[in-house]
Amino acid sequence: MSSSISQKPTYDPHNKLVTSPFLSPTILASIRLLIASYTLVTIIFVLVWDGVTDHTAGQFFSYFTDLTYTGICAYFWAAGVQGVGYVRRHRSGDIGYPLQKWPRILQVLHLALQASIQTFPLLVTIVFWVLLCSDKTMSTTVLRWRNISVHALNSVFCMFEVLCTNSPAMDWVMLPCMLVILGGYLGLAYITHATQGFYTYSFLDPSKEKPSMLAAYIVGITLAEVIIFALVWGMVKLRERLTRKVEEDGALEPEFEKKIGILG
């Protein structure tokens, strides 16, 4: 028996990142790649549409919404490809998936990207529908599709990853990392104003908001991220507990468990 078969990897030794308690690894990888393809098509369409209609495609990466959506696209491509690698190795009698043998920095970055797409989409959805949407949000077919894709389906994709995979709960060290990213974006927003002359979000404009309200928005969004992180962490723990209880109660036959990815 080769060493690759006899030794379990130290990174994700139970292959939780590429399996699901409800879906086979093949179906999980396929769904992830489908989401990746949809988000990529959406991004390309938005860039082309904005470039042709009002020449604002260059502002795309100035918006936290679009950066988050790009992160969703990147994560699901990465996770889908790793899932395909897992399925191919499993069929050839091997175990694991490529990321398990890649440099540690790439493994950590994958987990950080996963943490971002499990929390930021929910934050984007809440902030948009509570603070930013207007009568124009659904005024045309393109805007309806765009806003549903970017400000609603983003959270659907997020919840799929949280509830329908075996991915473990985020490490709490990822919370300060997410807050640093939010802080970095705040700086980017003001750099955008200084270099391009506009505020990406109206509530960041000190000429329109009192200093106290501006500070309240910033603190509120920070607290919202902390709460979302804790809620997502709790949902994952609950999902793990429920699926573990199903296994212990014997509700799933061992062969079926192995087939859908709960076991090894």
Condensed to tens digits (0 to 9), the pLDDT of residues 49-66 reads 999 998 888 888 899 999
Element at 227 (helix H, strand E): helix 211-248
For the chain, the domain total comes to 1
Task: Give residue 1's pLDDT.
Answer: 39
- Per-residue pLDDT, averaged over 201-215, amounts to 84
Task: Give residue 256's pLDDT.
Answer: 42
DSSP state for residue 23 in the 8-state scheme: S
In this predicted structure, which of 188-192, 217-221, 252-256 has the lowest mean pLDDT? 252-256
Q: Is residue 8 predicted with pLDDT exceeding 90?
A: no
74 vs 134, higher pLDDT:
74
Condensed to tens digits (0 to 9), the pLDDT of residues 220-264 reads 999 999 999 999 999 999 999 998 866 555 544 444 445 444 443
φ, ψ at 50 (rounded to 5°): -65, -35
Q: Output the pTM of the full model.
A: 0.88
- Per-residue pLDDT, averaged over 2-29, amounts to 82
Domain ranges, residue 105? 3-260
Condensed to tens digits (0 to 9), the pLDDT of residues 140-184 reads 999 999 999 999 999 999 999 999 999 999 999 999 999 999 999
Task: Give residue 91's pLDDT.
Answer: 86
Condensed to tens digits (0 to 9), the pLDDT of residues 65-121 reads 999 999 999 999 999 999 999 999 888 888 899 999 999 999 999 999 999 999 999
Contact present, 193 and 181 (Cβ < 8 Å): no
**Six token digits for residue 35:** 């989401």
DSSP state for residue 130 in the 8-state scheme: I
DSSP state for residue 263 in the 8-state scheme: -
